[in-house]
Homo-oligomer: A and B are copies of this chain.
Amino acid sequence: MTSYKLLLLPGDGIGPEVMAEVEKVVAWLGKAGLATFETETDLVGGAAIDVHGKPLADATLAKADAADAILLGAVGGPKWTGVAYENRPEAGLLRLRKELGLFANLRPAICYPALASASALKPELVEGLDMMIVRELTGGVYFGEPKEITTLPDGSKRAVDTQVYTTAEIERIAHVAFDLARKRSGRVASAEKNNVMKTGVLWKEVVTRVHQEHYAEVELEHVLADNCAMQLVRRPKQFDVLVTDNLFGDVLSDVAAMLTGSLGMLPSASLGAIDAKGTRKALYEPVHGSAPDIAGKGFANPIAMIGSLAMCLRYSFGLGDAADQLDAAITRTLASGARTRDIASKGGKVISTAEMGDAILREL
């Protein structure tokens, strides 16, 4: 059996706690003969700043580049508020995304039946919700230049960020979205602000052309990003695959995640281009952040992190069966009533991060 090289980057806050549960599952996969992994653990974000003075050491980047896949916990926290912009914890994650070319961020927003009542929305609006946000991850305002603060003659300041998109960048993310739609419900919504932004104009134009030339059987709808945010709240189930740029994707995917009532349970995949050998770089991480306020307390829900491993099995290694087993174990664990603090009903029994990990292992 092939052995896969997995780089674990727990990061900050609750990252290490939830990653510990993933390690248990990785060990189980090996013992069960489903997949063997060579794992290595390294630092990213604030944890790396504390040791190396920067949020991603070159040696770590080299390991990430050599790995078959990366699992990342979360980065950031108040401890590093004073750190220079260039060296803030988030810069480590952004550098990983950019240097490895992880341009396609897949963020499923799934409402687990057992948790529909945890949503802020009325249950009938979210029950059965299963959408996929495809966010462009290496372009747009996150990386465009100039990106700077200059001092004006009168001593006041002027800050600039630049959003850039090229035809090629939009084409490749559009292909990812349409390919996914083919395997799902056959519907794509594309969100931009073409009424205000030139990048929106080009986005709409390129997505429209890719659709016409290659995916005529998929249904395509264009929606303005502000209206899209509204529609997500009003009637989320109208969407299946939603493709959008880096910044709108950041906001819209957070809204979608929150709608499901399962924020602590949602994984994500960040994928690179498929190379000549048919492989692609990939990083998997929970949608939730580092939650420094609850770090170290055993409150964190490890399901998003374990679900990220399931996505990794599926997308990086073609181990759909193992991924299915893992997803099914999560569903059964939830059905059995196991609840970490974030998803517990009022007064209901609460278990710890490690107990949730163990409960999932028992179901496996």
Residues of A within 8 A of B (CB): 76, 85, 88, 90, 94, 120-122, 125, 141-142, 144, 147-149, 152, 156-168, 193, 195-199, 201-203, 225-227, 229-230, 233-235, 247-248, 250-252, 254-255, 257-259, 263, 289
Contact = CB atoms under 8 A, between A and B. Distances in A.
Contacts of A149: 198, 201-202
A142 B76 CA distance: 30
Contacts of A122: 120-122
A195 B226 CA distance: 22
B258 A234 contact: yes
Contact of A166 (B152, B201, B251, B255): B152
B90 A159 contact: no
Contact of A162 (B162, B225, B233): B162
Given A90-B196, A196-B90, A201-B159, A120 B234 contact: yes
A250 B193 contact: yes
Question: 9 closest pairs, A vs B, by CB?
Answer: A159-B202, A156-B167, A230-B258, A159-B199, A226-B254, A161-B163, A90-B195, A159-B198, A161-B197
What's the number of copies of this chain in the assembled complex? 2
A144 to B, nearest CB: 7
A120 B233 contact: yes
14 contacts: A76-B195, A120-B122, A120-B234, A156-B166, A159-B198, A160-B162, A160-B163, A161-B162, A161-B199, A225-B250, A225-B251, A229-B251, A229-B258, A230-B263
Contacts of A234: 120, 258
A83 to B, nearest CB: 11
A89 to B, nearest CB: 8
A116 to B, nearest CB: 12
Contacts of A235: 120
Given A152-B166, A164-B158, A229 B229 contact: yes
Contact of A147 (B166, B198, B259): B198
Contacts of A225: 250-251
Given A121-B121, A122-B120, A149-B202, A141 B258 contact: no
